[in-house]
Amino acid sequence: MDTVNIVIDGVDIETGADKTILEAALDHGIYIPHLCYHKDLDPVGICRLCMVEIDGRRLDVSCKTPVREGMRVRTETEEITKIRRVAVELLLANHPTDCLSCSGNTKCELQRIASYIGIDDRRMKSLRRKTVTLPIDTSNPYFDYDPNRCVLCGICVRTCADVVGVSNFDFAYRGYDSLISTFMGKPMIESRCVSCGECVARCPVGALRPKAVPQPAREVRTVCPYCGVGCGIWLGVRGETVIASRGDPDNVVNKGRLCVKGRFGHEFINHPDRLTAPLIKKNGNFEKASWDEALDLVAARFAKCKPDEFAALSSAKCTNEDNYIVQKFTRAVMGTNTVDHCARLCHAPSVAGLAQSFGSGAMTNSIGEIRNADCIFAIGTNTTSAHPVIAYEVKEAVRRGAVLIVANPRRIDLCEYAQIVLHHVPGTDVALLMAMMKVIVDEDLQDDRFIEKRCENFEAFFESLERFDLEFAQKTTGVPKELICEAARSYATRKPGMLLYAMGITQHTHGTDNVLATSNIALLTGNVGLPSTGVNPLRGQNNVQGACDLGALPNVYPGYQKVDRPQIHTKFEEAWGTKLSDKPGITHTEIFDAIHDKTVKVLYEVGENPALSEANANHVYAALEKLDFFVVQDIFLTETARYADVVLPAASFAEKDGTFTNTERRVQRVRKAINPVGDSKPDWLITCLIAKRMKKHGFDFDNPSQIMEEIASLTPSYGGITYKRLDDRGLQWPCPNTDSEGTPMLHSEFFATVTGKGKFMPLQYKPSYELPDEEYPLILTTERSLYHFHTATMTRKGGLEVLRKCELVEMNPKDAGTLGLKNGETVRVVSRRGEVNATLLVTDISPVGVVSMTFHFAESPTNVLTSDAIDPVAKIPETKVCAVRVERP
């Protein structure tokens, strides 16, 4: 980095050449009053408080003036003081003076400036105007907006526009009446605001302020428990209660930013509905039991169970250590490999597909690289709702000039920022992508050198391209030919190009093919192994990457080491000191079939809610009733837990130590903020206690750190991970030893495949399993709301419920017109498998012929409708496409 030397108030300072005077001063502990400057935002220079004298001549605002070699700056002269005093007095003349009861107190920049400059009380009194009191907007469940305290610094306006990309408000009116306003002055709750609280976190005074006023007594650094982005947070604790959460500015993933769930969604932790004691079902009713009684019962019943009769479902919400213990228990104690978790329902095709083409089923690149891409191709991801902080990065890339291509059946939020939008029919991704590749090859835009040096199997792939001419693609996908060409050209030529995808790609009967199509197009254009490129599956749950890494899968041990490879088998038998099965177990979806067939009779379920999350839910309910013995370990009595024989109360993420691995393979420390509520216990400990009651060895851990030591010793990609090293930063796997600093980018020299080459895969277009017909004329696709997570066990416990209360069936106005249905009425959605009632939302976000629903709401269990037809390779059910009709109930 280039540096320059400047002098501020006689102090010699060496600073980065790209800094402004204000930044240089603040970096060196020299205070210059400032109100409209914020380190995350472009400076605008409107408050004039940061005025300085440069080279003894001119005055200028220091927040906008870049440093220059030899510059001499004075931060205070008589003239400057005068300017500042007038500016501050004008602000204070209108400002309330009840500082002590304002939540901005002690953090307020206006207070700081006033005390720095010194205020003459008498003069102030004479300046005070008759104050008009404007109404305070208290409509948002989490924060208020008090325009009377606003100093018009515009920080919130810039934050909402440039950080979040929502542009909910701006300066309105003028002169004395100026204020920050939403469109038409709407209350926050009715505005476009997504309640992320980013503006609230940055407001320098108490104008935008959180509703919850109490200050925490202490703070604990940990990781957000919701999505796979893995934002760093500080949990604020007062007494034994978690009362606040704020973004961790030092975490490289989110750099202090959060979405609504991470900032406000902590109400579930100390919620009265939390399970606080073990429950045993007696005569159809749950009764509270002691741990001894419950564990004895579980251990006795598990001990009687034959290996093939047992199945475990682990949890992508739990820590790596929890998952390691559950899979070790299943394998070493129960003698079966039948352990799986909900990754089966979201990203099994990524694991299976990318393992074939690249040798490793994870994001190839890192979140921080997104902003430097020149082209971003987002297919099958509603990033704004499901991975909000990654969406901030995508919007940042667009702000920096990247081309954004969005391929999605629905007109999702990201479409507003995209240059090229492809609305393809759900389930036609292979046709769309292969047609793009044919255009690339036909126009000779492929990266020949990369294909030659780094790839294999190009010929077979090339032949399979033949069938994907533009006519076919247009007919199949519904996307105009010209758009397909434009997208192909942009992605092939605007480099580096980064491809992002999520469940729009994976949740299909041809999900693995879809994933292979994404890897094909990246290989074809040489967009792998370089910064800001790659194929990047955005993983849904906070620790779904980790649950996969740690072997909560029926065919692999931790680190994707195959259970049927003799060497591996021996390695684990030796390490765990017991006989192990070398037969892969069965998958999530197959487990429920096996329960129906009475082959699986005992189910151990840790932190999952398949009654709402599994496709074809009626099939799941029937299965759960058939079980001989069913143990659920969770933090709430979920819809699934009601079927259990024994319920074991688990500690939440805030009550235990451990690690989560985020979507970019970054292992980060989760830290205990409070003691487990009630009589609950961390998941790893509960499983260990069961094992010990069954007189098994290898479960004598005192703390999760010891578990990580065992993980590191057996899992090559986690070999260098220790709690000590994770103390101040996360590490991205592969991190094979303690000298390794981790791997932000995969495949930079070799692919992780056996040959070291990236493998092109020939593909065929396969239609979705269930297509619309006369009886069921609409396609139902499932999606997520920003305000809830998964089956909403955690998010429906407070203000988030206010932001989104119920299930909505989103339908295009044309379809609603044809069916004679009106916005807001209750409708019945019927598929071949069941029916569900929900509220109709008429919106052109939904394309004609397609309706969409989330699966967050137990009273409208969408998965009763979805199809459990599965991908033959990855065994993922096709929750993105099924045929339904919508009618008046």
Partner 1 sequence: MTQSTEEFMLDDIIRGCPHSRDYLISILQAVQDRYGYLSRESIYRISDYLDLPESKIYGVATFYNQFRLKPPGKFQIHVCRGTACHVKGSAGILDTIGRELGIEVGGTSKDGLFSLDTVACLGACSIAPVITINGKFYGRLDNKKVQSLVKKLKRQGDGT
Is 863 within 8 Å of 614 (Cβ atoms)?
yes
Closest CA to 497 of 664, 373, 369, 395: 373
The minimum distance between CB 128 and partner 1, in angstroms, equals 21
Query: Whose Cβ is closer to ligand SF4: residue 331's or residue 797's?
Result: 797
Tokens of 130: 């008759």
Query: Whose Cβ is closer to partner 1: residue 65's or residue 812's?
Result: 812
47 binds, among ligand FES, partner 1, ligand SF4, none (CB under 5 to 8 A by kind): ligand FES
Per-position x/- string for 836-875, each x denoting binding to partner 1 as judged by CB under 8 A, each - no binding? --------x-------------------------------
Is 203 within 8 Å of 144 (Cβ atoms)?
no
Query: Whose Cβ is closer to partner 1: residue 135's or residue 756's?
Result: 135
Taking CB under 6 A as the criterion, the residue among 227, 289, 591, 707 binding ligand SF4 is 227
In single-letter form, the type of residue at position 564 comes to: D
515 is a contact residue toward ligand SF4 (CB under 6 A): no
What is residue 486's three-state secondary structure? Answer: helix
Report the sign of the C-alpha dihedral through residues 758, 759, 763, 768, in that order. negative
Is 873 within 8 Å of 508 (Cβ atoms)?
no
Tokens of 67: 């440093």
Taking CB under 6 A as the criterion, the residue among 113, 160, 470, 505 binding ligand SF4 is 160
Report the sign of the C-alpha dihedral through residues 828, 830, 834, 838, in that order. negative
Is 542 within 8 Å of 223 (Cβ atoms)?
yes
Inter-residue long-range contacts of 691-696, CB under 8 Å, 24+ positions, other chains counted: 691/329, 691/333, 693/295, 693/296, 693/298, 693/299, 694/299, 694/302, 694/303, 694/333, 696/332, 696/333, 696/578
Residue 29's contacts (CB-CB under 8 Å, 6 or more residues apart) are none
Residue with nearest beta carbon to ligand SF4: 262
Counting residues that bind ligand FES (by CB under 6 A) gives: 12
244 is a contact residue toward ligand SF4 (CB under 6 A): no
50 binds, among ligand SF4, partner 1, ligand FES, none (CB under 5 to 8 A by kind): ligand FES
- Binding residues among 24-63 for ligand FES as defined by CB under 6 A: 34-37, 45-50, 61, 63
Per-position x/- string for 794-823, each x denoting binding to partner 1 as judged by CB under 8 A, each - no binding? -------------------xx--x------
Query: Residue 473 phi/psi, 5° resolution?
Result: -65, -45
Query: Whose Cβ is closer to partner 1: residue 100's or residue 184's?
Result: 184
Taking CB under 6 A as the criterion, the residue among 153, 298, 397, 627 binding ligand SF4 is 153
Tokens of 888: 């008046």
The minimum distance between CB 393 and ligand SF4, in angstroms, equals 10
Closest CA to 310 of 319, 292, 298: 298
CA atoms of 722 and 401, how far apart (whole Å): 40
544 is a contact residue toward ligand SF4 (CB under 6 A): no
Of the listed pieces 14-22, 167-175, 441-449, 587-595, which binds partner 1 according to CB under 8 A? 167-175
Is 832 within 8 Å of 861 (Cβ atoms)?
no
203 is a contact residue toward ligand SF4 (CB under 6 A): yes
261 binds, among ligand SF4, ligand FES, partner 1, none (CB under 5 to 8 A by kind): ligand SF4
389 binds, among ligand SF4, ligand FES, partner 1, none (CB under 5 to 8 A by kind): ligand SF4
183 is a contact residue toward partner 1 (CB under 8 A): yes
229 binds, among ligand FES, ligand SF4, partner 1, none (CB under 5 to 8 A by kind): ligand SF4
Count of C-beta atoms within a 10 Å radius of residue 127: 13
The minimum distance between CB 94 and ligand FES, in angstroms, equals 18
Query: Residue 853 phi/psi, 5° resolution?
Result: -145, 155
- Binding residues among 134-153 for ligand FES as defined by CB under 6 A: none
The minimum distance between CB 195 and ligand SF4, in angstroms, equals 5
Is 162 within 8 Å of 189 (Cβ atoms)?
no
Alpha carbon 190 to chain centroid distance? Answer: 25
Taking CB under 6 A as the criterion, the residue among 80, 91, 166, 397 binding ligand SF4 is 166
Q: Beta 232-238 vs 218-223: how paired, if at all?
A: antiparallel
The minimum distance between CB 179 and ligand FES, in angstroms, equals 18
Query: Whose Cβ is closer to ligand FES: residue 95's or residue 797's?
Result: 95
The 218-223 sheet, strands edge to edge: 218-223, 232-238, 241-247
Taking CB under 8 A as the criterion, the residue among 20, 65, 75, 168 binding partner 1 is 168
E strands, 164-226, where?
A: 169-172, 179-182, 208-210, 218-223
Query: Whose Cβ is closer to partner 1: residue 815's or residue 868's?
Result: 815
161 is a contact residue toward partner 1 (CB under 8 A): yes
CA atoms of 264 and 245, how far apart (whole Å): 7
817 binds, among partner 1, ligand SF4, ligand FES, none (CB under 5 to 8 A by kind): partner 1
48 binds, among ligand FES, ligand SF4, partner 1, none (CB under 5 to 8 A by kind): ligand FES
Tokens of 268: 């579930």
Sort 583 into a burial class: Cβ within 10 Å, 0-12 / 13-18 / 19+: middle
Query: Whose Cβ is closer to partner 1: residue 165's or residue 511's?
Result: 165
194 is a contact residue toward ligand SF4 (CB under 6 A): yes
The minimum distance between CB 855 and ligand SF4, in angstroms, equals 17
558 binds, among ligand SF4, partner 1, ligand FES, none (CB under 5 to 8 A by kind): none
Count of C-beta atoms within a 10 Å radius of residue 398: 20
Q: State the residues that interact with ligand SF4 by CB under 6 A.
A: 150-156, 159-160, 164, 166, 168, 180, 193-199, 203-205, 207-208, 224, 226-227, 229-231, 254, 258-259, 261-262, 387-389
List residues binding partner 1 (CB under 8 A): 161, 167-174, 181-185, 192, 813-814, 817, 844
By the criterion CB under 6 A, which residues form the site for ligand FES?
34-37, 45-50, 61, 63
